[in-house]
Amino acid sequence: MGKNKKKTANANSQTYEDKSINSLILFSIYRVREAGRRCTFERLMEECFKLSPRTFCLAGHTEWPDSRKLDRPLRSLREEKLVSGDPKTCFVLTKEGEKLAEEMAKTFRQGKLRI
């Protein structure tokens, strides 16, 4: 990765640091689905970690994702009726969850934040 790309990647992940874990998970599910892929737990963990490594890393091992950081937030998102699914199958956004994720995507695309 070139120096400029690395700086951009670092700036982008710092941009997401101020977002809540629930927001990052919603947006990650949205990105996986927009890419036309099935949002399995593993794929969601990968997307969340790419989006914000510091938020989703294993304590003491910043190069590794920590899947436990998804457990409670995913339960909360399901209780709030923003996400449906489970780790054994896949996750999808409800209409309300998709609406929130699309609002985040618009904010990022408008240049207020970069993806």
Which is nearest to 85 in space by CA: 41, 49, 115?
41
Dist. CA 20–CA 22, nearest whole Å = 5
- pLDDT for 9: 43
Whole-prediction pTM value?
0.81
Of 108 and 4, the one with more pLDDT: 108
Given a cut of 50, is residue 8 above it in pLDDT?
no
What is the amino acid identity at position 11?
A
Reduce the DSSP state of residue 59 to 3 states and report it. Answer: coil
Task: Please tell me the distance from the alpha carbon of residue 22 to that of residue 4, in angstroms, as a whole number.
Answer: 30
Mean pLDDT, residues 13-23 taken together: 73
* CB of 27 closer than 8 Å to CB of 101: yes
Confidence check: pLDDT of 115 > 80: no
Confidence (pLDDT) at 1: 43
Residue 21: partners with Cβ closer than 8 Å, 6 or more residues away: 55, 69, 73
Res 7 pLDDT > 50: no
Q: How far apart are CA 30 and CA 77, in angstroms?
A: 14
Phi, psi angle pair for 94, to nearest 5°: -75, 175
- Are 66 and 57 in contact by the 8 Å Cβ rule? The answer is yes
Per-residue model confidence (pLDDT) at position 15 = 57
pLDDT of residue 111: 60
For residue range 44-100, what is the model confidence (pLDDT) as tens digits?
999 999 999 999 999 999 999 999 999 999 999 999 999 999 999 999 999 999 999
Domains and CATH numbers, the chain: 3-109 (1.10.10.10)
